Structure 1
Amino acid sequence: MEVLKRIITFGTFDVFHIGHVNILERAKELGAYLVVGVSSDALNISKKGRPPIYNQDDRMKIVESLHCVDEVFLEESLELKGQYIRQYDADILVMGNDWEGKFDCFSNICKVQYFSRTEGISTSKIIKQVALDFS
């Protein structure tokens, strides 16, 4: 009997776009249950040096509404990733390849898989383009 796998991934998911959909759908294809950690507003500021466009509650609701997502939680700290992986009993951690190698340290508690990003799509690029279009 095949054991159903639990997948976990993390992200800010600000200015939600097709790249976000692609990675979440690909992650779900790896298992039966997809858990998504959405970065808190404070974590986003510490990672990117700016607040997100959409607040954490709105971003969580957007991600939670997707058919491929089974559970969403608020990620408060990058340093707690190992704890989150254990807490949600994840078999596989999925991250975009812009993080490649940075989470290999968790390969002792779960499989770590990096997916390529959707070419030409980036939240930062979208925000810059919108700013240019309206300036």
Structure 2
Amino acid sequence: MTRVITFGTFDVFHVGHVNILERARSYGEYLIVGVSSDELNYSKKNRYPIYNEEDRMKIISSLKFVSEVFIEESLELKLEYIKKYNADVLIMGDDWLGRFDWVKPACEVVYLPRTPSISTSEIIEVVRKL
């Protein structure tokens, strides 16, 4: 059984999230998703997510093609997460292209294109202006 792992904040859940998770699942039979902690999101984006980590984990866990969900505490722990969950493939959005090639000795790394014209940050900005 091929085990796939991916990571994301998954805040203000939208069809782009569904698309990348469905495509990630197509690389194997078991999809593991690391949901960025509220603190990790703050360190990356200088803002807390709209939805807290528990709510975001519940949303991701409810998807039929997701097998397992956990909280990602640090970007630097990618290799440890890959080993802990025995992942064969790491899937990341192509906005991270090349940034995780250093884990290639442990697993295959695939960067998938994002869904065009959909961005959580843009959605948040539009809603704030309403």
* Equivalent residue number for residue 101 of structure 2: 104
Whether 2:6 is the aligned partner of 1:18: answer no
After superposition, give the CA deviation of every residue in 1:51-81 in whole Å (9 maximum; x if it has no partner). Answer: 0000000000000000110000000111111
Secondary structure in 1 aligned to 2:21? helix
* Equivalent residue number for residue 116 of structure 2: 119
* Equivalent residue number for residue 5 of structure 1: 2
Cα RMSD after superposing both structures? 0.4
Instruction: State the identity %.
Output: 63
Whether 2:98 is the aligned partner of 1:85: answer no
* Equivalent residue number for residue 46 of structure 2: 49
Secondary structure in 1 aligned to 2:77? helix
After superposition, give the CA deviation of every residue in 1:28-47 in whole Å (9 maximum; x if it has no partner). Answer: 01101000000000000000
Cα distance in 1 for partners of 2:17, 2:55 equals 15
- TM-score with structure 2 length normalisation? 0.99
Give the letter for the 2:34 counterpart. G
Offset of residue 132 of structure 1: 1.1
Which has the larger Rg? 1
Cα distance in 2 for partners of 1:29, 1:93 equals 12
Secondary structure in 2 aligned to 1:119? coil
- TM-score with structure 1 length normalisation? 0.95
Cα distance in 2 for partners of 1:25, 1:61 equals 17
* Equivalent residue number for residue 27 of structure 1: 24
Offset of residue 122 of structure 1: 0.2
Unaligned runs of 5+ in 2: none
Cα distance in 2 for partners of 1:131, 1:17 equals 17
Offset of residue 15 of structure 1: 0.2
